[in-house]
Chain A
Amino acid sequence: MLTVENTKCECGHQNAVGTVLCESCGKPLLKDLQQSDTPLEMRYDGVARRSQKSNQTVIDKIWSFFSSVKIAIYLIVITFLTAMLGTIYPQESTFINNFDPSTYYEQTYGLPGKLYYMLGLSHTYESWWFIGLLVMIGTSLVICSLDRVLPLYRALNKQQIRKHHQFISRQKTVFAADIGGDPKEWMTNFGTQLKRRGYKVHQEEGQGTALLAEKNRFSRWGPYINHIGLILFLLAILARSIPGWQMDAYVSVPDGDTVKIAGTNYYIKSEKFIIEFYTDDELPEQLQGKARAKNYETQAVLYACVSVCNDPLKEPVLEEVKRHNIIVNHPLVYDGLKLYQFDFDLKPRLNAVNPILEDKQSGEKYGPFYLPMKDSALQHKLGPFTLDLYANYMEFALNSEGKPTTLSREPNAPAFVFTVKGPGLKPEGEPYIYFPMQKDKVKFAQDTINREIADKIQIRVDGMENVDFSEATTHLNVRVDKALPYLWIGAVFSMLGLIMGSYWQHRRIWLRIDDGQLVLGAHTNKNWFGMRSDVAHALKKVGIEIDPKTLDNGGKNA
């Protein structure tokens, strides 16, 4: 059944449906509230909110749902409870390579691990329901704020100085007394005391027997500014899914190499990677003998490609744009692109050798010739000999069928198979396998594989000056994040709002004197202790000494 509520106050003000305290004089409008004498609920000064409309459409219902602080709190509580679950075992995202989540959790943690994986908790923070919770919190932030800030603004923007007697005497901080003398003079005097404490004092024109004193109203906007900041922050996070706004990749650069940064127009060169360890004198006893890194850095040069960028057959034309020593906490930053020191690898890596070919029958030596591990020339002519590259393995191994294969694309155990033509060899050429690294030569028994050709020729390196290797490989993390500035703006707003709302409190004091009878009521949104001491202090200055605690009228301490 629908009844039209009478919301007109006795002071003549027409209030919206849902109003608790008259927007003008503050008199309680609800019958049962009028008959009670407990302190009043002062939230938003008793003004009606949109969510309190009586007949609701679907949109109104959604609005009401998200405008409820109770729902907001539930969302927060569910979010932090589920976030806890995600920390029980490491998340999938913490593993970088060679990781199969479907077996890892069960193998490592047993049945609980299997359940953890099956419930999807191994990627809690990327799951649709967790992101859904965050989006719902964001929606709630927007709607809760809008639903409250507008009525609150209205209520605070047009305040009556003379409030209803019930409104004043049913505040949480109250005082009543008989005062002698001229009421207007008393009021002015009291107002002066409040001004000294930083209040803005409004005394009623004419009679001068009603007064409103107010300070730090701005602090009421704190929570809303904080919420705007949080909304911006959440939007910035969502914006990262816009294509091109975010990039997160890894690049490994051996000393001296120049590597293209995939997905960009840039090339990165590591001139040298340097690492320094703490010496034993610098370490406390229990850490001595352990290699504790003191500093490591990549001496990096960033190039931009200016032409011939996408032709795999031609060398690109590069132009140096930035030179920077990348250290942890000091990334290379260029035009939104950031390169972070992520990790390093001190395993030396073979880049190239300059071997010679020895004719064992004549004792003649030919060469040396340049043999890089990657992209070697397909043919080498050495005196009367011709070497045709038949196959090239980066990490040589024999598979289960005994056939040669490569385990990776990193030159950890490189091997070259040449077809060799020349004096004393078959005219169609004979195969020769060459391992540049001594350890592989022994491990895979180079001479045995080569059989009789091993007695005729030999490819070998003469001296270390003919070996080119990188001492270290640096791993860099490449980042682009265009949402970042918005994120920080959001954080600044949020912080500003929090400070405004937490370290200042909005305090108001209402007084009226009727026939020598003073009533005083005071309201604050936080810190009643401070509110009472303000009132007690001003009363003391006009000659009324009381214990601040006696001003308390009971009720809740919001």
Chain B
Amino acid sequence: MSLLDFSSDAFMVAFFLYCFAFLFYVIAIAGKKWSNRDPKQHEKRWGRIAFIVSTAGLVAHLTFFFTRWIGGKQIPTSNMYEFMTFLGMAIMIAYTIVYAMYRKPLLGMFAIPLTIIIVAYASVFPQEVQPLIPALNSVWLKVHVTTAALGEAFFAVGFAAGLMYLLRVINFTDKTKQARRAQFWVEFTLYSIIVIVGFIIAVFGFRFAGYEASFTQEKVLIDNKGQDSTIVDTVNYYLPPIVQPYNSQIVEFQSFLGMDKPLFEAPYWMNGVNAGRKLNTVVWSIIAGTLLYGVLRLILRKRLGAAIHPVMEGIDADDLDEISYRAIAIGFPIFTLGGLIFAMIWAEIAWGRFWGWDPKEVWALITWLFYSAYLHFRLSRGWQGLRSAWLAVIGFVIVLFTLIGVNLIIAGLHSYSGV
């Protein structure tokens, strides 16, 4: 067995251990109300079991990372799959550090599913080791990507604690306008997370079923001498095409649920590389996510926020507020170093300019400015509790956009392959 195969196995082990750890955290929290047990004792016992399992998962994940590094002869942080798995691992490291400080098992109930989703999301992307292009062949690749991801991982933990805070303090029976607005946005946040899960399910579901369709798309290019030429691209779909690329012809189309041609065509201004396919993926994610959300609502018979809220009872809201803030305060210097300073040093060495207003650079700056505003709001304007928790949630949305959205929507120096 080659080292790379061993590495993939370690990854699977890590994934399942995370799933079990999550389960045990749920037992630790939800099981407190079970009969014939002392709630404190129960939480302590299961909390410890869950922490041991999640740590074992992290060890397996680290094994994956280092064996892939040795087997692939380059640090596995150079394409979307490798980067996202690394981010998942960094979140586990950040979580472990924060856990060591505060010893709150409940944090795992939110941080670990976040890791699971990110790791599963990573698996959507091609997993082969790809040889580096010369621009990436630098020691700064290792330094910049790993520190930036670690900083972002602390923001992720801050997000998890912030979301927990919201679920803990928002009163889901209150009917005032303000409370309704808060309930709506918490529900929307949970729904968005479920849409991402829906995306993963849709991609894996159709991949497993072997679905394929393809189109040819005509594009007219005008070169710098004013001569026009037409190029024909083939666009392959792995999800049934609800939206076809702009100005394209069907080459192959497997019928899906009686649908044997696309329902819409992408608008003309969506002419980027595979823009039509990306739009189709978004449509599918929303469909799958909404279905999943609907099923959950039918089972629970109330809004997800209202269903999770009782589980959070008995947790000190102030602790959650402080954990969220602390995680962000720890992550901020790391992100500054990795996401901006190391990035600038590398940009200076590779391109001769430390800053070029590339979309990825701008979004890293936006992330940094956002969290510095967060810290100032908190320290000088006394924004704590609810407002601070909302900012932690919005901040992580910006982080995710910087990491994924920029690559998928805006092209630039950092574009990796996308689905």
Residues of A within 8 A of B (CB): 43, 69-70, 72-73, 76-77, 79-80, 83-84, 86-88, 90-91, 93-94, 97-98, 108-110, 112-113, 125, 248, 278, 282-287, 292-296, 327-329, 331, 338, 340, 407, 477, 479, 484, 487, 491, 494-495, 498-499, 502-503, 525-529, 549, 552, 556-558
Inter-chain contacts of B369 with A (CB < 8 A): 76-77, 79-80, 83
17 contacts between A and B (CB under 8 A): A69-B381, A73-B376, A84-B362, A87-B359, A87-B363, A97-B224, A108-B271, A109-B269, A284-B128, A284-B130, A285-B128, A331-B349, A487-B354, A491-B344, A503-B330, A558-B378, A558-B379
Inter-chain contacts of A552 with B (CB < 8 A): 318
Q: With A80-B365, A80-B366 as known contacts, state yes or no: A557 contacts B318, CB within 8 Å.
A: yes
Tell me whether A125 and B357 are in contact (CB under 8 A): yes
Bound CA–CA A294/B130 (angstroms): 11
Q: With A87-B362, A529-B322 as known contacts, state yes or no: A72 contacts B349, CB within 8 Å.
A: no
Tell me whether A80 and B378 are in contact (CB under 8 A): no
Tell me whether B376 and A69 are in contact (CB under 8 A): yes
> Contact partner of A340 among B128, B137, B321, B352, CB < 8 A?
B352
Interface size class of B (residues with CB under 8 A): 35 or more
Stretch of B109-117, B194-202, B333-341 with 4 or more beta carbons under 8 angstroms from chain A: B333-341
Is B332 on the interface with A (CB-CB < 8 A)?
yes
A-contacting residues, B182-217, CB 8 Å: none
Q: Smallest Cβ distance from A250 to chain B, in angstroms?
A: 11
Tell me whether A495 and B381 are in contact (CB under 8 A): no
Is B326 on the interface with A (CB-CB < 8 A)?
yes
> Contact partner of B322 among A86, A498, A557, CB < 8 A?
A557
A125-B362, A296-B134, A329-B137 known; 18 new pairs, CB 8 Å cut-off, are A69-B376, A72-B376, A83-B362, A83-B366, A283-B131, A286-B128, A294-B131, A295-B134, A329-B135, A329-B349, A407-B225, A484-B354, A502-B330, A502-B332, A503-B330, A527-B322, A556-B384, A557-B384
Residues of B within 8 A of A (CB): 101-102, 126, 128-131, 133-135, 137-138, 140, 224-225, 268-269, 271, 316, 318-319, 321-322, 325-326, 329-330, 332-333, 336-337, 341, 344, 348-354, 356-359, 362-363, 365-366, 369-370, 372-373, 376-382, 384, 406, 410-411
> Among the interface residues B138, B330, B336, which one has the most CB atoms of the partner chain A within 10 A?
B336
Q: With A72-B376, A73-B377, A479-B352 as known contacts, state yes or no: A293 contacts B134, CB within 8 Å.
A: yes
Bound CA–CA A526/B379 (angstroms): 9
Tell me whether B380 and A69 are in contact (CB under 8 A): yes
Tell me whether A529 and B102 are in contact (CB under 8 A): yes
Bound CA–CA A556/B388 (angstroms): 12
Tell me whether B381 and A294 are in contact (CB under 8 A): no
Inter-chain contacts of B350 with A (CB < 8 A): 328-329, 340
Bound CA–CA A268/B330 (angstroms): 48
Tell me whether A484 and B348 are in contact (CB under 8 A): yes
Tell me whether B134 and A80 are in contact (CB under 8 A): no
> Among the interface residues B126, B268, B362, which one has the most CB atoms of the partner chain A within 10 A?
B362
Q: With A484-B348, A557-B325 as known contacts, state yes or no: A112 contacts B376, CB within 8 Å.
A: no
Inter-chain contacts of B366 with A (CB < 8 A): 80, 83-84
Q: Smallest Cβ distance from B75 to chain A, in angstroms?
A: 15
Q: Smallest Cβ distance from A376 to chain B, in angstroms?
A: 26
Bound CA–CA A72/B380 (angstroms): 11
Bound CA–CA A80/B366 (angstroms): 5
> Contact partner of A292 among B131, B224, B378, CB < 8 A?
B131
Q: Smallest Cβ distance from B104 to chain A, in angstroms?
A: 11
Inter-chain contacts of B344 with A (CB < 8 A): 491
Cβ-closest 10 pairs across A and B: A284-B128, A69-B380, A98-B224, A80-B369, A498-B333, A479-B352, A340-B352, A87-B359, A329-B138, A328-B134
Inter-chain contacts of A73 with B (CB < 8 A): 373, 376-377, 380-381
Tell me whether A293 and B133 are in contact (CB under 8 A): yes
Tell me whether B357 and A93 are in contact (CB under 8 A): yes
Bound CA–CA A499/B135 (angstroms): 31
- Residue of B whose beta carbon sits closest to that of A126: B357
Tell me whether A477 and B268 are in contact (CB under 8 A): no
Tell me whether B376 and A87 are in contact (CB under 8 A): no
Q: With A79-B369, A83-B362, A556-B384 as known contacts, state yes or no: A91 contacts B357, CB within 8 Å.
A: yes
Q: Smallest Cβ distance from A484 to chain B, in angstroms?
A: 7
Inter-chain contacts of B269 with A (CB < 8 A): 109-110, 112-113
- Residue of A whose beta carbon sits closest to that of B406: A87
Bound CA–CA A323/B410 (angstroms): 39
> Among the interface residues A83, A282, A499, A557, which one has the most CB atoms of the partner chain B within 10 A?
A557
Tell me whether A284 and B363 are in contact (CB under 8 A): no
Tell me whether B134 and A329 are in contact (CB under 8 A): yes
- Residue of B whose beta carbon sits closest to that of A237: B355
Bound CA–CA A86/B412 (angstroms): 13
Inter-chain contacts of B326 with A (CB < 8 A): 527, 529
Q: With A83-B362, A125-B357, A529-B102 as known contacts, state yes or no: A556 contacts B382, CB within 8 Å.
A: yes
Bound CA–CA A502/B379 (angstroms): 12
- Residue of A whose beta carbon sits closest to that of B331: A502
Bound CA–CA A208/B326 (angstroms): 37
Tell me whether A499 and B333 are in contact (CB under 8 A): yes
Inter-chain contacts of B353 with A (CB < 8 A): 248, 479
Inter-chain contacts of B358 with A (CB < 8 A): 94
Inter-chain contacts of A477 with B (CB < 8 A): 351-352
Q: Smallest Cβ distance from B134 to chain A, in angstroms?
A: 4
> Contact partner of B133 among A76, A292, A479, CB < 8 A?
A292
Bound CA–CA A333/B101 (angstroms): 47
> Among the interface residues A70, A108, A283, A526, which one has the most CB atoms of the partner chain B within 10 A?
A526
- Residue of B whose beta carbon sits closest to that of A81: B366
Bound CA–CA A261/B410 (angstroms): 35
Q: Smallest Cβ distance from A504 to chain B, in angstroms?
A: 12
- Residue of A whose beta carbon sits closest to that of B401: A84
Q: Smallest Cβ distance from A331 to chain B, in angstroms?
A: 7
Q: Smallest Cβ distance from B190 to chain A, in angstroms?
A: 25
> Among the interface residues B352, B354, B366, which one has the most CB atoms of the partner chain A within 10 A?
B352
Bound CA–CA A299/B135 (angstroms): 18
Tell me whether B382 and A340 are in contact (CB under 8 A): no
Tell me whether B322 and A528 are in contact (CB under 8 A): yes
Bound CA–CA A552/B322 (angstroms): 13
Q: Smallest Cβ distance from A103 to chain B, in angstroms?
A: 11
Bound CA–CA A278/B330 (angstroms): 42
Bound CA–CA A120/B64 (angstroms): 48
Tell me whether B352 and A286 are in contact (CB under 8 A): no
Tell me whether A86 and B357 are in contact (CB under 8 A): yes
Q: Smallest Cβ distance from B228 to chain A, in angstroms?
A: 12
- Residue of A whose beta carbon sits closest to that of B333: A498
